[in-house]
Amino acid sequence: MLLQSPRLLDLFCGGGGCSVGYARAGFDVVGVDIAPQKNYPFEFHQDDALEFLAEHGHTFDVIHASPVCKKYSVLANRYPDRIYPDSVGAVRTALIANGKPYIIENVPGAPLVNPLMLCGSMFGLRVYRHRLFECNLSLGLPPTPCQHKGKVSSNRHKRGAYIARTLANFDVLTVTGHDFVLADARVAMGIDWMNQADISQAIPPAYTEWIGRQLIFNIESV
């Protein structure tokens, strides 16, 4: 049994959705992001993620990284002339060199290795948000299959995806862009501290709380 909480470094932490999940699982979390994060709820360092990892990564028990995902998102298809950074490979190389257990999170379509897909419906959340997680430790199967039930928008977005912006009319919310109802997004995502911009990019804490409990079990078993 651990005598103190294991330490987790959350790189590209944003507003702290992943961080809160790991904290609920039992980690002492530190976040790093190149942009200021005034709503981040834990110790925060504004810095280059990979530079911080190289200097301080050895002091942590687990590293989580959510590198920029725009290259693999629907934005890349909508704006084919734009060039987005492809940082997953460099991040993975740095994490392997660090030698600690790691998790890389990104959107569907990102070049992750044997990723696990998690969805809000697996945790009883009212949000449509698929995300991939690569881990160099074994993770179990998700708690339930992905299942989107209830009313969804009858109007199709031009990309063909169903878009629902308020829980007053739909059971499942799509939290993207800036035209959703913030109060409903907070309910749907299980996040109560973020603003509109932060939550549009966030990961529901339930995802990483589930992952974090497995990581702590693995660490305690060593």
The full set of domain ranges for the chain reads: 7-143+202-221
Beta pairing, strands 102-106 & 131-135: antiparallel
- Domain 7-143+202-221: give its CATH architecture: 3-Layer(aba) Sandwich (3.40)
Q: Work out the average pLDDT over 198-222.
A: 93
**Per-residue b or e along 144-158, where b marks 16 or more CB atoms closer than 10 Å to that residue's CB:** eeeeeeeebbeeeee
pTM confidence score: 0.88
Kindly indicate the confidence band of residue 79, based on its pLDDT and cuts at 50, 70 and 90.
low
For tokens 């948000």, name the residue: 129
Write out pLDDT tens, residues 145-161: 888 755 444 444 433 34
Which DSSP category does 156 fall into? Answer: B
Q: Residue 74: its pLDDT value, please?
A: 54
For residue range 116-174, list pLDDT tens digits in order: 999 999 999 989 899 999 999 999 999 898 887 554 444 444 333 445 677 877 778 88
| pLDDT one-digit tens code per residue, 179-196 | 788 999 999 999 999 999
Helix (H, G, I), strand (E, B) or coil at 180: coil
